[in-house]
Amino acid sequence: MTSEVPVLIVGCGAVGSVLSMELARRGIEYRCIDRMAGPGRETRAIAMHARTVELMDLVDTELSRPLIERNLWCKGYVMHFLRDGERTEVRPGLDYTTVDSRYNCIFAHSQSETEAVIRDYTQSRFGRTIEYNTAFQDLAQDADGVTARVTHADRGDEEELIRCQYLVAADGINSRVRRGLGLPVKGKDYKGSFFQNLDIHLHGFPDWTDYFHYCVGTDHFLMVAPLPGGAFRLLLSDRGEATDPSLTPQQAFMRLLERHYDGITMGDVVWHSRWETWVRLADTFREGRVFLAGDSAHVHSTTGGQGMNCCMQDAFNLGWKLALVLNGSAAPGLLDSYEAERRPIAEQVIWAASSLHDIFMTHGKDIAERKQTMFEPGYTEKVVNYCSGVAYT
């Protein structure tokens, strides 16, 4: 099979969904493919920040309204520190009610539901859908365009050659597109840190349910965050103690939860995952007619909940520029501004995430030393404004 389309988007997660919507509402033909059999159902990212919701408003209040109505409005973070068995608090530690936005909060949400709202909006308004069971294999590009080879798992791995003017890699940290182009990434690993998520119902949680809670000890970090529907997201980082195969996920999390709170019991499990985190930044976000967006271009610590937000904002930025070039309203040189604008912002996101990571997840480092950074003049205000997205430039 052979076909032609102006834009091919590889990956239909947060980046692919937003980019599809932006092209569709500007009348640009495209195809968005994903190797998965269908949309993801896992909770994944749970924080949506002010700047992202503002962008949704700019598209259509009919898009932003269901997101706002279904998500929890959280005011910030309470910090809980444990040192030599003594519990101390900073309440609030990060105050998002100070953000210069009508959405001066953190929206607690499920990434899969957010993606579904965007996909449903794009389909209902513009009749455009995602092509699942379609895996990108490789590409060749020349001065006039890109030829991508894909396979269709639901058609016996039938091959198709797709000729496009531009291709966007929205296929995540292990991007096959980026690796196929041989584009280098630089960064570091968080050696000695192991991570787990547990979405679960908690009984008897004694603290504020309109805040996220960061619970920190010398050798561990535990986040407790409310979710729509009554469950909580627990995020655990330690030096590997909780990965003991003799422990269930509930037992591993409960051991740490009991060190910070009294009287909590666990209910039904919604989702559990183990994962790793890195810092990665691609040397370039563009190679000829191929663009990197989202995690294919940059990843960082989950601290501060910026990942999905930054990725979606990449898609907003690239979408209107591709549309103006393809419909003849702007010269191709406009596309150079995508990397010029988004790569510096990725660097700022990495700074904010890494700065918080160093405070809360530098296991083994004395708590008093780590807390000292938080009380430097202007530090928390700077972090809040960065993480919310309103200060990125």
CATH number of 2-67+109-188+279-361: 3.50.50.60
Q: Write out pLDDT tens, residues 180-202.
A: 999 999 988 877 778 999 999 99
Spans of all domains in the chain: 2-67+109-188+279-361, 73-106+191-275
pLDDT of 371: 80
What is this structure's pTM?
0.95
Percentage of residues of the chain with pLDDT beyond 70: 100
CA 269 to centroid of chain Cα atoms: 22
Segment 297-306 mean pLDDT: 93
pLDDT of 118: 97
Mean pLDDT of the residues in the chain: 94
Task: State the CATH class of domain 73-106+191-275.
Answer: alpha beta
Are domains 2-67+109-188+279-361 and 73-106+191-275 of this chain identical in fold? no
Q: Write out pLDDT tens, residues 86-104.
A: 999 999 999 999 999 999 9
Residues near 16 by beta carbon (within 8 Å), at least 6 away in sequence: 9, 10, 32, 34, 130, 168, 170, 315
Joined together, the tokens standing for residue 9 give 């988007």
Tokens 């009348």 -> residue: 27
- Residue 143 pLDDT greater than 90, yes or no: yes
Q: Give the phi and the psi of residue 91 in degrees, each rounded to 5.
A: -130, 105
Segment 47-60 mean pLDDT: 96
- Residue 111 pLDDT greater than 80, yes or no: yes
Residue 285's pLDDT band (cuts 50, 70, 90): very high
pLDDT of 241: 83
Closest CA to 303 of 137, 41, 77: 77
